[in-house]
Amino acid sequence: MTKNNKRRWQAALVGLVGLILVASASIRVLSVTDWNATLFVGFGEVTDPTTEYGEDRLADIQLRSGRGHDGKYFFVQANDPWLLAPDENAQVLDRPLYRSQRMLYPLIAGVGGLLSPESIVWGLLIVNVIAMAVGSWVVALLALEMGASAWWGLGFVFNLGLIGDFAIDSAGIVAVLFAFLGIWFLLRERNGLSIASFAMAGLSREVMLIAAVGAAIWLWRHSRRQLSLLFLLVPSSIVALWGIYLRFRVEGGAGGFPVVDWPFLGIVRSFDFWTRDPRNFVVGITMLLLLVLFTRRAIGSSHLVAWSFLGFVPLAVILSEHVWRNWFDISRAIAPIWTAYALLLFADKVEDETSQS
């Protein structure tokens, strides 16, 4: 067996283990809900148009406390991902324009809107199970490329932010997967696939365009300026074109809490909330430490992983208290940093050894 084949099998094994871990966790949850996958969708006990929409289309739904979570919005979108009947579907969303930007995950889960509502519930879960496994495989390949063990690919499955996204059928897993896939393709000089992957990451979660911008800067620093412009313009243009289409199909809907604020203000204001809940306090302090450590490591690194995700640091600084005060929200908002930092620990080690030899 050649070295390359051995590495592929090692990465595939990590992906398989990731699949087993996530599938096992899903089965455990489903076994206590009488195999009702709507628990992951996150319909809330507080009745709103989205929950009513689910009750009208599903025979039995599991409710969560309060207003529920993001999965219920992706359920609506998966029933009409192309916004062919926005008055019937998208208008029950709390913020139709904002929610509809994140179209790729529900598009895949609903097979382009062809599945029945009951099948979509399972589609949302299955897509995230597969995305967790594929993400572990891709990160394992990157770890091997950096000289580390393939088992660090499980840093994708054990990413706290992605675990949170998995629990509520959210799009973050698919978004982060495509970002890491874009990095892998670019390192392998498969530029077209890399650009497409970054575009799909942005269509899953618009903030993931940060990774495409970071890759463009990395290319510019390596004097590949024409290619850099393509990475900067193509993914953002694709996301923008979808945004233009949305504005012809749905109205905005302001609602929701403010996501951004003045630099550091959200962090400072969150301390009071953290002191009321040990989980928020521990994760909040951990996230601050992680940002400092990641910034220090990334700035001194020349690796693509560092530059692709460095932009999430200034993003974190301007996030509002409504994001920072809850461990569940902040860990998901900057989820890529968790996995990227683990990879960079080994990337820099390899670079140092190379420079010394």
pLDDT of 308:
97
Structure tokens, 196: 């497409």
**Residue 328 falls inside a structural domain:** no
Rounded-to-10 torsion of CA 339, 301, 184, 156: -10
The CA distance from 159 to 138, in Å, is 14
The CA distance from 229 to 132, in Å, is 31
**Residue 105 falls inside a structural domain:** yes
Rounded-to-10 torsion of CA 316, 319, 320, 322: -80
* pLDDT-derived band at 265, boundaries 50, 70, 90: very high
**Residue 236 falls inside a structural domain:** yes
Q: How far is CA 270 from CA 165, 288, 305, 322, 330, in A?
A: 22, 12, 29, 8, 11
**Residue 322 falls inside a structural domain:** no
311 and 333 in contact (C-beta within 8 Å)? no
Average pLDDT over residues 214-226: 96
Look-up of token digits 């949302």: 124
pLDDT digits (tens, 9 = 90+) for 46-84: 888 999 999 999 988 998 888 888 999 999 999 999 999
For CA atoms 117, 44, 129, 20, the dihedral sign is negative
**Residue 306 falls inside a structural domain:** no
The CA distance from 357 to 353, in Å, is 6
Full domain range(s) for residue 217: 3-256
Rounded-to-10 torsion of CA 345, 351, 352, 356: 160
297 and 337 in contact (C-beta within 8 Å)? no
Rounded-to-10 torsion of CA 193, 194, 196, 202: 160
Which residues, in sequence order, are CB contacts of 235 under 8 Å at separation 6+?
195, 198, 199, 201, 202, 209, 212
**Residue 86 falls inside a structural domain:** yes
pLDDT of 183:
97
pLDDT of 1:
64
CA atoms within a 13 Å half-sphere pointing along the CA-CB vector of 267: 17
**Residue 138 falls inside a structural domain:** yes
Task: Concatenate the DSSP letters of all residues of 57-125 into one string.
Answer: H-S---EESTTB-THHHHHHHHHSTT-SSTTTTGGGSSSHHHHHT--HHHHHHTGGGTS-HHHHHHHHH
pTM of the predicted model over 0.85: yes
**Residue 265 falls inside a structural domain:** no
pLDDT of 357:
33
The CA distance from 298 to 345, in Å, is 10
Average pLDDT over residues 182-203: 97
The count of structural domains within the chain is 1
339 and 136 in contact (C-beta within 8 Å)? no
pLDDT digits (tens, 9 = 90+) for 87-135: 999 999 989 999 999 999 999 999 999 999 999 999 999 999 999 999 9
Structure tokens, 103: 């179209």
Which residues, in sequence order, are CB contacts of 28 under 8 Å at separation 6+?
none
Nearest to 55 by CA among 83, 76, 69, 40: 76
